[in-house]
């Protein structure tokens, strides 16, 4: 089975310029990005807390771009219930913090929201085995979670590729989202390995050397290169 998903762009709003937020959201919308990605943290699961749910609530009324939320928290169900009324379209939770992962994924889906499972770099793909029926996507962390601007972990490409193989071998048709140092140079290799949703931050969409529109154009060029590489190597994943 060959998985076929359009490669989508999800700018990380943790990397946006708060002073220029309204204008940047307008430009992202104009550029046709697929999601706005929000990292919601509790300063416990990860030692940071950049964006709260009130921020999402206030921004929701000003844009129709789908909201993709990545929870990095200890109490997932509590935050899911806060986020659902805001009108988010997808929520990923970490397998490492979810005491009852199947139950939490079911809770997310009960609100009509797509449910994702996020995996830290050292977490094995085997944790997905018995929740595949409840998940709508997998989030592969290519850095350790909590902060923007980190270096990609050495195993990242291998894990993306292994996740792609795991899904295909188990007959699971869901996209792979990647988050962490999704740079112009790394995007082709991530896409070739199997990435379908790119959480883009300071090393691509919000790169200081270009405008948002120019940077998104560069991201799309990198995606096209990655898809050519994937097609060339597709016999390895048939």
For residue 24, what are its two tokens?
A: 């940047």
Q: Is 196 one of the annotated active-site residues of the chain? A: no
Catalytic residue (one of 39, 42, 68, 196): 39
Catalytic residue (one of 68, 77, 162, 179): 179
Q: Is 179 one of the annotated active-site residues of the chain? A: yes
b (16+ CB within 10 A) / e for 84-111: bebebebbbbbbebbeebeebbebbeee
Phi-psi region of 56 (alpha: psi -120 to 50; beta: other; left: phi over 0): alpha
Catalytic residues: 39, 179
């Amino acid at each position: 089975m060959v998985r076929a998903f359009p490669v989508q762009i999800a700018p990380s709003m943790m990397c946006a310029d708060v002073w220029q937020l309204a204008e940047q959201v307008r430009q992202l919308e104009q550029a046709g990005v697929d999601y706005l990605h929000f990292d919601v943290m509790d300063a416990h699961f990860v030692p940071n807390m950049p964006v709260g749910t009130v921020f999402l609530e206030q921004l929701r009324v000003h844009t129709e771009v789908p909201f993709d939320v990545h929870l990095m928290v200890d109490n997932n169900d509590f935050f899911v219930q806060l986020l659902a009324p805001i009108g988010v379209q997808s929520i990923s939770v970490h397998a490492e913090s979810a005491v009852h992962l199947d139950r939490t994924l079911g809770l997310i889906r009960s609100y009509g929201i797509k449910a994702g499972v996020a995996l830290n770099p050292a977490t094995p793909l085997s944790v997905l085995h018995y929740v595949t029926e409840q998940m709508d996507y997998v989030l592969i962390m290519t850095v350790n979670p909590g902060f923007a601007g980190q270096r990609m972990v050495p195993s990242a490409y291998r894990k993306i590729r292994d996740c792609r193989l795991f899904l295909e071998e188990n007959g699971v048709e869901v996209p792979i989202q990647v988050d962490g140092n999704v740079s112009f140079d790394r995007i082709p290799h991530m896409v070739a390995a199997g990435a379908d949703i790119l959480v883009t931050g300071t090393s691509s969409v919000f790169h200081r050397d270009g405008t948002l529109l120019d940077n998104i154009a560069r991201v799309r060029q990198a995606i096209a290169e990655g898809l050519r590489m994937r097609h060339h190597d597709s016999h390895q994943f048939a």
